Amino acid sequence: MKIVNFLKSLVSPVRMVKYKYMSVLISICIFVLGSYLLAVPARPYIVKNMDKLVENDNYLYLQSLTKMPVNDENNLVFKELQDKQCAADETGTLVCKNMGTETVDGVEVEKTLYKTSLEYTNKDGMIIHFDFVIDLFDEDNNPQYYPEREFVYSNEKFPDVDKKEYYLIVFWKDSIYYQAHPFNIASANVVHDDVKISTLSQKAFFGNIKSFDFSEFKNDTFHAKNYLVERIKVGHIPNFVGQYSLSTFIFCVIFTLVISLLFWLMFRKTGRLKSFKEYYNIAAIVSILPTFLVFGLMWIHINMVSYYIFVFSIYYLFVLYKINNSSRIM
């Protein structure tokens, strides 16, 4: 019976009133736990749907890689990359055994920077340009190639963006970096296939993607592009989950705080609840039902999380109306 009464107190406005005196810390914990719960479906969703998103929606602009043609020119580029004999070791550090040497101040040293590129024309007549960079960092263990300096749009550097798309893959000492379109490309107002081109970038540490080895290129474009796409996808998963967790935190913790403050300012003079603490505590209890409802719907479609604030706000307003107009509450 106690369990039934407790559950009723989580949904019945009149029974919720008793929670207005509880500690604010408990309310904060409820909101934070709700944000964690709504972030749970993110990883299964992206793992299950990544291939479909890439194929149907060009997710992360990865079709530039998946549709790269297999030919002798492209094979040569990947063979030259594979010849560098690079692989991430157990510490997540990229080690290259055949970068070659160069003379610096009269001293022969191993090269730590390598650049190459390739181009192809897709079926729509668009030229796709890829830059590949291996950067093992300088003697102070700092990057030598900075995309935010080197891969930035300007008319002088990228004069043909209306008919050419530029992509970048950097193999840093500790991570792989993928970027579609140069920084500041939005200022050019370029539209391809009715979509305005914008910059997308992501970085994945080798320690998070578990393994990375140029030998998987197998001196062949087909194997190389598929391997790179697969590694980029794996690296994107924690990024996607992190971004989604931030979104659910904003929905469940920040927006609910703002809505609680707004309703407190609106009803504090006329309602039975007076202090902000009372409004915030009731909001925490109110949030439980919408959280579980939206959590269940998210397994059907991940974008259901966007309805959380709407459901919470309507339910919270209903609860406040019932509390403020109930003759059973003194």
For residue range 265-293, what is the model confidence (pLDDT) as tens digits? Answer: 998 888 788 899 999 999 999 999 999 99
Q: How far apart are CA 107 and CA 120, in angstroms?
A: 39
Task: Select from 188, 219, 250 the last residue of a domain.
Answer: 219
**Does 301 share its domain with 213?**
no
Which of 67-76, 98-107, 243-252 comes out lowest in average pLDDT? 98-107
**In terms of Cα–Cα distance, which of 6, 1, 17 is closest to 322?**
17
**Does 196 share its domain with 263?**
no
Q: How far apart are CA 328 and CA 261, in angstroms?
A: 25
For residue 24, tell me if it sits in a domain.
yes
**Does 106 share its domain with 208?**
yes
For residue 235, tell me if it sits in a domain.
no
Phi, psi for 254 (deg, rounded to 5)? -80, -55
Confidence of residue 127 (pLDDT cuts 50, 70, 90): very high
User: For the chain, what is the domain count?
Assistant: 2
For residue 177, tell me if it sits in a domain.
yes
Mention every residue, 6+ apart, whose C-beta is less than 8 A from residue 276.
Answer: 260, 261, 264, 268
Confirm if 279 and 262 have CB atoms less than 8 A apart: no
Confidence of residue 107 (pLDDT cuts 50, 70, 90): confident
**Does 82 share its domain with 187?**
yes
- The per-residue pLDDT for 328 is 60
Per-residue pLDDT at 199 exceeds 90: yes
Q: 301: helix, coil or strand?
A: coil
**Does 113 share its domain with 163?**
yes
Q: What is the mean pLDDT of residues 59-74?
A: 93
Confidence of residue 195 (pLDDT cuts 50, 70, 90): confident
- The per-residue pLDDT for 103 is 80
- As a whole number, the mean pLDDT across the chain is 91
**Does 201 share its domain with 247?**
no
**Does 148 share its domain with 189?**
yes
**Does 155 share its domain with 16?**
no
Distance spanning both ends of the chain, measured CA to CA: 25
**In terms of Cα–Cα distance, which of 288, 280, 287 is closest to 264?**
280
**Does 141 share its domain with 252?**
no
Confidence of residue 329 (pLDDT cuts 50, 70, 90): low
Mention every residue, 6+ apart, whose C-beta is less than 8 A from residue 164.
Answer: 126, 127, 128, 129, 158
**Does 260 share its domain with 139?**
no
Q: How far apart are CA 108 and CA 131, in angstroms?
A: 27
In which domain, by residue range, is 136 found?
A: 71-219
For residue range 249-263, what is the model confidence (pLDDT) as tens digits? Answer: 999 999 999 999 999
For residue range 176-186, what is the model confidence (pLDDT) as tens digits? Answer: 999 999 999 99
**Does 204 share its domain with 265?**
no
**Does 134 share its domain with 252?**
no
Phi, psi for 245 (deg, rounded to 5)? -65, -40
